[in-house]
């Protein structure tokens, strides 16, 4: 016989699969620290900012409207955007609190 019989090699035994489990846990931790945690921090800061609003504060809305707060309600705020011109906006639409005197300097 010129050719010897070929025997199949046994497959390497697979471990319990801890490696894949640790990779998934690591990916979730990375996702948490890079995306979820900073977003929660920004949301908390925005909530504190909207709760601390007072009459006379100057703000910018998320639509880009610049105004001065004249009335504050539970869910809505009245903004004076020009002389004798007021608009109502939701508190959640307020994006930035400006330093006093910013509107006059523009």
Residue among 39, 50, 52 at smallest CA distance from 95: 50
State the Cα torsion 83-100-43-78 to the nearest 10°. Answer: -20
pLDDT tens-digit map of 12-50: 666 677 888 899 999 999 999 999 999 999 999 999 999
**Per-residue pLDDT at 1 exceeds 90:** no
Q: Which of 90, 94, 100 is nearest to 45 (CA)?
A: 94
Return d(Cα 57, Cα 69) in angstroms, integer.
Answer: 6
Give the pLDDT confidence score for residue 20 in this predicted structure: 87
pLDDT at site 53: 94
Return d(Cα 91, Cα 46) in angstroms, integer: 10
What's the pTM?
0.72
Sign of CA dihedral 91, 44, 49, 74: positive
Options 3.90.550.10, 2.30.30.30, 2.60.120.10, 3.40.640.10; CATH of 54-106: 2.30.30.30
Residue boundaries of the structural domains of the chain: 19-52, 54-106
Q: CA 96 to CA 81: how far, in whole Å? A: 15
pLDDT in tens, 49-86: 999 999 999 999 999 999 999 999 999 999 999 999 99
Altogether, the residues listed in the chain come to a count of 106
Of 101 and 7, the structure prediction assigns the larger pLDDT to: 101
């Amino acid at each position: 016989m010129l050719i010897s019989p070929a025997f199949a090699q046994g497959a390497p035994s697979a471990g319990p699969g801890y490696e894949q489990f640790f990779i998934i846990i690591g990916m979730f931790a990375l996702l948490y620290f890079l995306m979820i945690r900073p977003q929660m921090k920004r949301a908390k800061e925005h909530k504190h900012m909207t709760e601390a609003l007072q009459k006379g504060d100057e703000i910018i809305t998320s639509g880009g409207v610049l105004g001065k707060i004249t009335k504050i309600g539970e869910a809505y705020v009245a903004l004076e955007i020009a002389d004798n011109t007021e608009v109502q906006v939701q508190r959640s639409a307020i994006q930035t609190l400006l330093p006093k005197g910013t509107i006059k300097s523009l």
